[in-house]
Amino acid sequence: MKRNISTILIAILVAGCNPTPTPAPALEKKEPSAMQKKMAQYITVQLTADTAGLSEKEKQMLPLLIDAAKTMDEIFWMETYGDKAKLMSSISDPEIRRYAEINYGPWDRLGDNKPFVPNVGDKPKGAAFYPSDLSKEEFEKVATDQLKSLYTIVHKDPAGKLTATPYHEAFADPTKRAADKLKQAASLAEDPGLKKYLELRADALLTDKYQPSDLAWMDMKSNNVDVVIGPIETYEDELFGYKAGHEAYVLIKDKEWSGRLAKYIGMLPGLQRALPVPVEYKRETPGTNSDLNAYDAVFYAGEANSGPKTIAINLPNDEEVQLKKGTRRLQLKNVMRAKFDKIVVPINDSLITPEQRKQVTFDAFFSNVMFHEVAHGLGIKNVIKGKGTVRAALKEQAGALEEAKADVLGLFLVTQLQNKGELGNADVKDYLVSFLASIFRSVRFGGSDAHGRANRMEFNFLMQNGAFIRDDATGTYRVDFDKMQTGVNALSEKILKFQGDGDYEGVKAFMTEMIKISPSLQADLARLASANIPIDIIFDQGK
């Protein structure tokens, strides 16, 4: 694999889950060890990010930002485990060492955090943010704002008293190195918004005061290069959810796609009026100020690089910044590409009828995902009879129905825009077959996941409307394009009416019936599992 100035390659590991028993090994083959089985869940994929559109100075910034990001790896190790060097020197098996690198510690993030290194014990709920023997009661008795802060680490002094050390003191050395790299990158920045953000972010790392840099991040709009860096999410603190873990993403904005998204968001009010429902169900005017952009990721570090990987980021978390500036949604296009190549393509080869397979394309898959996001802005947020929000009226049913709405209205949007000649020369049929292949992907997320339930319902509804036909001899599916269009319109109308009427009982009965998995679909999903088609992806990477 060649690396040059216009190409940065990162390798990702793909997590494969194979719930079906593996066939008995041939006699001459040795049974794989438990660790080999764990490692076999991952395959390495290489992603490329095109830097051809960047200026020379922007290209020079990337290695500085990657160096800054790498210090987040060092800090996150200390937050989640403690002394990485000591752990690594205690492990002689190279496969176990590799697995510890992937997991940022000796506990298996894909296996309920069970230890895979002998004699390490269970993972403390508070990771290494707190003393490992700390109980909730003990902490709550003495908890001060400093002890509960997002940005402090808690220790016990020799007298047994709890003390809080700010991150910038506890991790002074890597923090200072990260800040230095950000300042060097800022000195190269040509975009004034980016320059200001990088300078403020460097200061924030040195003081643990993040709000000025979060505000500057929301203000910057014309940058090509971006970095999300610092202590951000609190998932790693399972004891209280107080402590933020360090992480970083280094990103390159896809200006072409971001520009198209901005244009489509601007067209939403007109598209809202075209929705296939009576006028009272589309009286609201969709907002056109969403900040939705597409990026290629070139580096993940720290918490972002541990466990299952995200393909979309929604930040900042600071509610005061959200009220003043809103939030920004970042779609990571090359990571979606990896999911397409490693998950959607093999599903296509297994479950779509051979003559329609060529219509499953990355552009159509990506467009469907993007228009799903845009379509969340369509429809109505408040019920039309009585008062209140759709979310409040539909309670626990609201999430899955809203995801299904975004799926079908996303398809509605794609076909409307295509008919208006806004999507270039792509074939509408590509979106429809790619949508079906992606339904199989999402159905596998399971019934406890809102997207999983939404996709099961969509599959059953469209199937009953003749939009897909299963060939029982081969277990493959064919899209009937005309019936798919009428089915999508019928489902759009059904969902928008449920939402507008705030019909909780109706939605509950409908969903309960429609998320059932038929024996034939069960058999098809079992075929995907036995073919070792992965469900999720995670990253491994080097410069």
* Binding site residues, Zn ion, CB under 5 A: 403, 406
Tell me if 11 sits within 8 A of 45, measured CB to CB: yes
- Report the alpha-carbon distance of residue 354 to residue 350 in Å, rounded: 9
- Smallest gap from Cβ 498 to Zn ion, in A, equals 17
Which CB sits closer to Zn ion, 182 or 292? 292
- Report the alpha-carbon distance of residue 301 to residue 223 in Å, rounded: 21
Q: Which residue has the tokens 């002394």?
A: 83
285: left (phi over 0), alpha (psi -120 to 50) or beta: beta
| C-alpha pair distances (Å), 519 with each of 458, 466, 526 | 17, 18, 10
- Smallest gap from Cβ 404 to Zn ion, in A, equals 9
Which CB sits closer to Zn ion, 449 or 493? 449
Core vs surface per residue 403-431: b (16+ CB within 10 A) or e:
bbbbbbbbbbbbbbbbeeeebeeeebebb
Written as one string, the DSSP assignment of 378-396 is: SS-SB-SSSSSBHHHHHGG
- Smallest gap from Cβ 341 to Zn ion, in A, equals 22
Hey, what are 57's tokens? Answer: 């100075």
Which CB sits closer to Zn ion, 237 or 403? 403
- Smallest gap from Cβ 402 to Zn ion, in A, equals 7
* Other Cβ atoms within 10 Å of 219 Cβ, number: 11
- Smallest gap from Cβ 442 to Zn ion, in A, equals 11
- Smallest gap from Cβ 273 to Zn ion, in A, equals 22
Which CB sits closer to Zn ion, 247 or 403? 403
Which CB sits closer to Zn ion, 216 or 374? 374
**Residue of minimal Cβ distance to Zn ion:** 406
- Smallest gap from Cβ 398 to Zn ion, in A, equals 12
- Smallest gap from Cβ 124 to Zn ion, in A, equals 34
Hey, what are 237's tokens? Answer: 């603190």
Which CB sits closer to Zn ion, 405 or 444? 405
Q: Which residue has the tokens 């076909």?
A: 415
- Report the alpha-carbon distance of residue 501 to residue 380 in Å, rounded: 11
- Smallest gap from Cβ 288 to Zn ion, in A, equals 19
- Smallest gap from Cβ 257 to Zn ion, in A, equals 18
- Report the alpha-carbon distance of residue 485 to residue 495 in Å, rounded: 16
Q: Which residue has the tokens 């626990």?
A: 396
Residues in the chain, how many? Answer: 543
- Report the alpha-carbon distance of residue 9 to residue 474 in Å, rounded: 39
Alpha helices in 189-274 (DSSP H): 192-207, 211-219, 255-266, 268-273
Which CB sits closer to Zn ion, 199 or 403? 403
- Report the alpha-carbon distance of residue 373 to residue 367 in Å, rounded: 10
Which CB sits closer to Zn ion, 244 or 406? 406
Coil/strand/helix, residue 341: helix
* Other Cβ atoms within 10 Å of 188 Cβ, number: 18
Closest to 510 measured CA to CA, from 530, 490, 534: 490
- Smallest gap from Cβ 309 to Zn ion, in A, equals 18
Closest to 371 measured CA to CA, from 412, 330, 338: 412
- Smallest gap from Cβ 389 to Zn ion, in A, equals 17
Closest to 307 measured CA to CA, from 120, 123, 536: 536
Which CB sits closer to Zn ion, 401 or 436? 401
Hey, what are 166's tokens? Answer: 């700010």
Alpha carbon distance, N-terminus to C-terminus of the chain: 13
